[in-house]
Amino acid sequence: MKQLLILGAGTAGTTVANRLRKMLDSQAWGITIVDQDARHYYQPGFLFLPFGLYSQRDVMRPKTRFIPGGVELVLAQIEAIQPEQNRVRLVDGRSLSYDFLVIATGCRNDPEATPGMLEQEWRKSIFDFYTYEGAQALGEHLRTWDGGRLVVNIVDYPIKCPVAPLEFLMLSDWFFQKKGMRERVEITFVTPLEGAFNQPISSRYLGGILERKGVKVVPEFMVEHVDPDAKKLVAYDESEVAFDLLVTVPLNRGDAAINRSGLGDELDYVPVDMQTFQHPKHANIFVLGDAAALPTSKAGSVAHYATDCFSENFVRHLRGQSMQSRFDGHGTCFIESGFGKALMIDFNYEVEPLPGYYPLPGIGPFALLKESRLNHWGKLIFKDLYWSYLVKGHDLGVPPLMSMTGKRRETSEA
Amino acid sequence: MGSRVIAGKEVQLTENGFLVDPQDWTREMALEIAKEEGIEIMTEAHWGIIDFCRQEGLEAGKAPSLRAIVNGTGVSMKALFELFPKSPDKKVALISGLRMAARCI
């Protein structure tokens, strides 16, 4: 019996395990999936936790519910991948052999990479919201916070879900207005980039949306360290931003096991073929989701579309046929903008977010690069689609490759 | 997208001002772009970074990330901000005739 080993049971790993279990003969193929955490998280929902819009049951379920029969779930920490031996060592001393390996170990927050961040003020006046624990702790803090300088900061790119910090800012404006304390909160966005929007067309359509919501933007600020006593961010060029409450997006990097295996780039992401996900040196290794070093966003939708393309291709590959489906870096994201509205973007490696409608021209129902109530309802409904269909590997009927249908082409390129 | 003459050579530029074809790049062009970016004198330390970026990034047409430059050259992040003030990632990409990593939005 041949062995397919999947590392990581998050969005990409769980979806691909479900897909391939249906597509591969169970007499001929064993499938094993490894993860260190018994809980599956709906990560886009973390954004809503600090504002009391979601609670634990919206974002967390036991992993076992999403692993299909015929797939063995191993709960363990990965020590290292040994590609020459076709083997993965676990921290508990066990070894798992494979014929094919799918790496879907995702990316993680690394607050330790920034001096001063993980010290006495961590989760007292310095919070993250990209982890379940961080988002819950921030929600607890916001319940009784009486205002001051709220600073939202991105340490460096790339980050998982690059729109979530913008959503956090816009939801903060709504949240403090609703609480009747907006005038007591100064909201500042501190980014290492030139501004909040860095694609020409997005910035034409959305530039100024944060300022209209009373958010001050501090661009080109790359944090060198946090001073937890003086409560300020200090940049490499020695400029400073003071805060009363810091909501930071710490440095994002791939799993530590990727580093220990010597398979990663400078941030522990694994370089792979951008169309087939195949490792350039090891033909029986594929990398899906946030773990891959690809020039597209680290987002659940990208992982979902990638898994669609990969699963078809992988079965062809096993039959000795050439891999036909060429992934285009496609992603589709809702961007919550507060007051019951949201925006939507749809893009790929080559095409930046464009205005128009998705998926049907002129009808939508979703409006691209524009606020609408329907976009907001789409975002809310998506949570149930995720839990009931997407991670279970059911077809959502959305084509994995991006379509220009419904989009208005404008003159620009990245 | 448009064209411009830099250091006596007509080149195509993207909307963000990056060279469309990194093969168009010359060292004279780098000096002129550096001046426009506020770097009057390109020292040996500046050239060390630009040469590294050309070497590592030419094939993909994209400048390496600041972290990759730090790892590859041993020059500290702080020194990169001193050599190419404010936004070293953008400045090294512009001066070395390469593009920056794509941004989502």
Q: Where are the domains of chain A?
A: 2-109+253-318, 111-252
B76 CB near a chain A CB, below 8 Å?
no
- Phi and psi at A184, nearest 5°, equal -95, 0
Q: Do A163 and B105 touch (CB under 8 A)?
A: yes
- Whether the CB-CB separation of A188 and A221 falls below 8 Å is answered with no
Which of A110, A159, A194 is the best residue to mutate to test the B interface, defined by the most B CB atoms within 10 Å of its own CB? A194
What residues in A contact B89, CB-CB < 8 Å? 192
* Residues A78, A81, A82, A88, CA torsion sign: positive
* Distance of residue B65 Cα from the nearest chain A Cα, in angstroms: 9
Specify the CATH number of the domain A2-109+253-318: 3.50.50.60
Helix (H) or strand (E) holding A210: helix A209-212
Q: Which of residues 14-53 of B touch A (CB under 8 A)?
A: 14-16
* Ranges in chain A, pLDDT < 50: 413-414
pLDDT value at residue A207: 87
At A51, list the tokens.
């504002």
What number of other Cβ atoms are within 10 A of residue A269's Cβ? Answer: 24
At B13, list the tokens.
């530029």
pLDDT value at residue B1: 67
pLDDT value at residue A237: 94
pLDDT value at residue A413: 47
Specify the CATH number of the domain A111-252: 3.50.50.60
pLDDT value at residue A324: 87
pLDDT value at residue B15: 81
pLDDT value at residue A397: 85
pLDDT value at residue A412: 53
pLDDT value at residue A414: 41
ipTM of the complex: 0.92
